[in-house]
């Protein structure tokens, strides 16, 4: 039976979803970005975005997103590598992913208790003779908690890339006289770079728009694009400026996706050569 005449109908639910929940919200944000406080058409919001205040805010957001992504990658790659060498690798991977199922707000409040002046971390520092330290409401606490929250999303794509890596290629590299570092640099890293790029996407992009963690953990000492959008919409009620920041945030995300996008390359599964 020929179903070709019905095939366009199969795309209707998908197209409807994209139009209603992707295209329409973005179009609405773009529309509001051209309105001032009185609802009149203006380019003033875009001019204001290129002032020193918002440019510094943008650079700050990229800096913190870079730090979060860098430390997530720094710990995620060796973790994913050692997971692929363990006997029950998928079980261990599941144990790492399970904390990401817990509500983000609950995890954030848990760290408030841990890092507080009367929390267990400061209690341990007291026992060690170091004394109480202001850990909460610092850059360190913000980056630490953010890395903890995002690191499972960095581990997963890297683990998948490493798990698919053909071990025969590593054996061949060693047979040709390459040491462990050369094998990693010339074989393992290039063949798993797409997993790294995927991890960077799912960490760097959301890290640009963090706002709840900045309030609860950093105590508003860290201001990101996400925090600025929240303040413009909920505090100053300047929807036009908030929408303008959101437009640039979407643009930044799109550029990052283009930069980190790549075609899959590498080896066959299960150690079998093609």
Question: What pLDDT does 211 receive?
Answer: 85
Question: What pLDDT does 3 receive?
Answer: 61
Who's near 230: CB < 8 A, 6+ residues apart?
211
CB-based burial of residue 159 (10 Å sphere; 0-12 exposed, 13-18 middle, 19+ buried)? Answer: buried
Enclosing H/E stretch for 229: helix 225-230
Question: What pLDDT does 265 receive?
Answer: 52
Per-residue pLDDT tens over the stretch 44-92: 999 999 999 999 999 999 999 999 999 999 999 999 999 999 988 999 9
The DSSP 8-state label assigned to residue 99 in this structure reads: G
As a whole number of angstroms, the distance between CA 200 and CA 153 comes to 9
- In this prediction, residue 245 has a pLDDT band, given cuts at 50, 70 and 90, of very high
As a whole number of angstroms, the distance between CA 248 and CA 235 comes to 20
Question: What pLDDT does 240 receive?
Answer: 95
Joined tokens for residue 13: 């639910």
Greater confidence, 8 or 263?
Answer: 8
Question: What pLDDT does 4 receive?
Answer: 65
Per-residue pLDDT tens over the stretch 81-134: 999 999 889 999 999 999 889 888 899 999 999 998 888 999 998 898 888 888
Q: What is the CA radius of gyration of the chain?
A: 23
pLDDT tops 90 at residue 273: no
Instruction: Please give the mean pLDDT across all residues of the chain.
Output: 89
Question: What pLDDT does 262 receive?
Answer: 63
Question: What pLDDT does 162 receive?
Answer: 95
Joined tokens for residue 191: 């063949």
């Amino acid at each position: 039976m020929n179903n070709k005449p019905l095939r366009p109908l199969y795309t209707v639910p998908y197209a409807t979803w994209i139009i209603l929940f992707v295209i329409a919200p973005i179009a609405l944000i773009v529309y509001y970005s051209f309105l001032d406080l009185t609802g009149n058409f203006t380019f003033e919001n875009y001019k204001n975005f290129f002032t020193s205040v918002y440019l510094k805010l943008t650079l700050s957001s990229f800096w913190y997103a870079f730090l979060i992504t860098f430390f997530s990658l720094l710990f995620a790659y060796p973790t994913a590598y050692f997971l692929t060498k363990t006997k029950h690798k998928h079980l261990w991977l599941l144990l790492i992913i399970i904390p990401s199922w817990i509500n983000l707000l609950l995890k954030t409040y848990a760290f408030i208790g841990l890092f507080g002046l009367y929390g267990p971390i400061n209690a341990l520092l007291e026992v060690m003779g170091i004394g109480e330290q202001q850990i909460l409401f610092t850059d360190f606490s913000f980056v630490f908690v953010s890395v903890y929250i995002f690191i499972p999303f960095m581990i997963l794509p890297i683990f998948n890339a490493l798990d698919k890596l053909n071990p025969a290629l590593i054996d061949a590299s060693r047979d040709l006289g390459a040491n462990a570092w050369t094998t990693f640099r010339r074989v393992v890293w290039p063949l798993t770079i797409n997993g790294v790029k995927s991890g960077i996407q799912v960490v760097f992009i959301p890290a640009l728009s963090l706002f709840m963690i900045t309030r609860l953990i950093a105590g508003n000492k860290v201001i990101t694009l996400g925090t600025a959008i929240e303040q413009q919409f909920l505090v100053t009620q300047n929807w036009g400026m908030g929408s303008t920041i959101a437009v640039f945030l979407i643009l930044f995300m799109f550029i990052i996706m283009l930069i980190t996008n790549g075609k899959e390359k590498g080896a066959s599964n299960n150690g079998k050569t093609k």
